[in-house]
Amino acid sequence: MSSHVILRGSYRECLRDSTPAGQPPLDQGVQITVVLRRRAVAPAEEAISDPLSRPDLVEAHGADPADIAVVKTFAASHGLTVDEVNLAARFVKISGPLSDIARAFGADLELRQVGSRTLRTRQGSLRVPSTLHERVVAVLGFDHRPVATTHHKLQLGAKRPSSFTPPELAKIYAFPSGTGRNQTIALIELGGGYNATDLEAYWSQLGLGPVSVTAVSVGGAQNTPEGDPDSADGEVALDVEVAGGIAPDARIVVYFAPNTDQGFLDAINSAIHDEVYKPSIISISWGAAESEWTPQAMNAFNSAFHDAALLGITVCAAAGDNGSSDGEQDGHSHVDFPASSPWVLACGGTRLVARGDARQSETVWNDGTTGGATGGGVSSHFSKPGYQSAVNVPKPAGTVNPTGRGVPDVAGVADPETGYAVIVDGQEGVVGGTSAVAPLWAGFVALCNEQLGKNLGWVHQKLYGTVSEYGGFHDITSGNNGTYTARIGWDPCTGLGTPNGQAILQALKTPQNK
């Protein structure tokens, strides 16, 4: 490996809270994903205007055929097979015996026992030949540790007076009229599944007709309900029922993928570049603290989200349910990824009290260490984007960044005590968490797209600009998520605030925002 160099950002720690379980079978067939750079630098945020077509994206910012050729030569030299080349998403899938692929990339692999599961993991850095060093963004697929968790909290039992259905929230937040017709909302799921009978019962309770829901398999994962409301089933049901309850005429497409960094990215790319369903909005309710990710993976995901922005697709993601620590035990503040990507609309959480269609009070969601709290804070990986130049984002601790990307951008009700009525695995319940806020905003964006006759796409500059000036948000000024306290204007608890839907739509219709 003397001619090889370390792949930047690929270093992996040993899996915490696990025990050694031997070596993986070296003759096992595996497939890895090599993510490549763009052939030309993509437009920065201030240069994004009209969406690109998919052919134009490939031509201008897809993978360079010369880079593909180098990867193919490298694979052939190690006796590996090239299974798939995707110019738009800029990846090459390579397969072969584990021994050969591990040797080709200098991967240090072992099996680790975590509870009842035995997982193939890696530690240390990967290596690539010098011919690939500047061409490769990431190499994913060696490590099968779960990369993300859900951000939902379920309480079983019938709807309570303090909880809400999606149509009730649409009225409280003054969402525009409409049903999301001609829109497709993509939901990314890394486990669990939904039952058609649950959805039928739910739509009936809301007085809605059937909502179009389609499952798409990615990487062999399927719509597989576990029969336990506390499992990932609760997440899937929440996402589908909230998005469909807000925009019942939108098509809901659920992309099921393995819970690995490779599977997660595959699902996102599948949604972004889907030529059949062509999603206009993507909602993600899974994530983990930035410190749990490798920099190479975050960079690969961020590049995919940049693609979504260029194509006019809005991506919403939950900001986390464990306050300013994001569940880490090191005593420091952390933010959740993928919500921390500057190309993603990060969705924080509130506690909402309403009477009828009127908001009575709304504060930062924080039920303490055992009850959960909205995520939010400052990225240690992504720099402060231009659209946040006018807001006061604190300096991130323990980082070389002079400042970082502030999280979240927006918010919505997330407290389980004032949460969302759902049906999951045949049982009624109330779900909270920022997992609910992402599909809530996805449904809202679908209504706006319908009203405007075009996709909002990457909407950050508009939200931080004219929309905020037009009173498009209910500013949340009370409460904290641990380290950070709400204040007038943007803050690292609830961002710009919760939506005043009609005001947002009106602002989006103004000439400077068309």
What pLDDT does residue 361 have? Answer: 96
Q: How far apart are CA 135 and CA 37, in angstroms?
A: 6
What pLDDT does residue 398 have? Answer: 59
DSSP secondary structure of 266-301: HHHHHHHT-TTT--SEEEE-EEEEGGGS-HHHHHHH
Dihedral sign from CA coordinates of 246, 252, 258, 261: negative
What pLDDT does residue 395 have? Answer: 82
The pair of structure tokens assigned to 161 is: 């007076």
Each residue of 80-107: pLDDT tens digit?
Answer: 999 999 999 999 999 999 999 999 999 9
Q: How far apart are CA 271 and CA 276, in angstroms?
A: 10
Q: Is 239 a catalytic residue?
A: yes
Mean pLDDT, range 247-271, rounded to an integer: 98
Q: Given a cut of 90, is residue 3 above it in pLDDT?
A: no
Q: Per-residue confidence at 240, pLDDT binned at 50, 70, 90? A: very high
Q: Given a cut of 70, is residue 219 above it in pLDDT?
A: yes
Mean per-residue pLDDT over the chain, rounded: 94
Which one from 168, 233, 239, 409 is the annotated catalytic residue? 239
What pLDDT does residue 397 have? Answer: 61
What pLDDT does residue 401 have? Answer: 63
Q: How far apart are CA 321 and CA 208, in angstroms?
A: 30
What pLDDT does residue 48 have? Answer: 78
Beta bridge partners, 109, equal 122
Mean pLDDT, range 53-69, rounded to an integer: 96
Q: Given a cut of 70, is residue 400 above it in pLDDT?
A: no
What pLDDT does residue 47 have? Answer: 65
What's the whole-model pTM score? 0.96
What pLDDT does residue 158 have? Answer: 63
Q: Given a cut of 80, is residue 369 above it in pLDDT?
A: no
Q: Are 297 and 138 in contact (CB under 8 A)?
A: yes
Which one from 168, 235, 266, 475 is the annotated catalytic residue? 235
Q: Are 326 and 320 in contact (CB under 8 A)?
A: yes
Q: Given a cut of 60, is residue 514 above it in pLDDT?
A: no
**Domains of the chain by range and CATH?**
4-140 (no CATH), 149-513 (3.40.50.200)
Mean pLDDT, range 385-391, rounded to an integer: 95
Q: Is 46 a catalytic residue?
A: no
Note the Cα 499 to chain centre separation in Å. Answer: 20
Q: Given a cut of 80, is residue 116 above it in pLDDT?
A: yes
Residues 46, 48, 52: CA angle, nearest 5 degrees: 170
Q: Per-residue confidence at 511, pLDDT binned at 50, 70, 90? A: low
Exposure class string for 168-204: b at 16+ Cβ within 10 A, else e? bbbebbbbbebbbeebbbbbbbbbbbbbeebbeebbe
Q: Per-residue confidence at 1, pLDDT binned at 50, 70, 90? A: low
What pLDDT does residue 141 have? Answer: 98
Please tell me whether residue 262 adopts helix, strand or coil conformation.
Answer: helix
Which of 345, 335, 485, 498 minimizes the C-alpha distance to 415?
Answer: 498
Place of tokens 């007038």: 488
What pLDDT does residue 161 have? Answer: 72
Q: Given a cut of 90, is residue 125 above it in pLDDT?
A: yes
Neighbouring CB atoms inside 10 A of 469's CB total: 10
Each residue of 472-486: pLDDT tens digit?
Answer: 999 999 999 999 999
Q: How far apart are CA 468 and CA 134, in angstroms?
A: 40
The pair of structure tokens assigned to 421 is: 């009525």
Mean pLDDT, range 275-294, rounded to an integer: 97
Q: Per-residue confidence at 46, pLDDT binned at 50, 70, 90? A: low
Neighbouring CB atoms inside 10 A of 99's CB total: 15
Q: Is 435 a catalytic residue?
A: yes
Radius of gyration of the chain (CA): 22
Q: Are 35 and 136 in contact (CB under 8 A)?
A: yes
Going by DSSP bridges, is the β-strand pair 404-407/4-6 parallel, antiparallel, or unpaired?
A: unpaired
Which one from 125, 435, 468, 475 is the annotated catalytic residue? 435
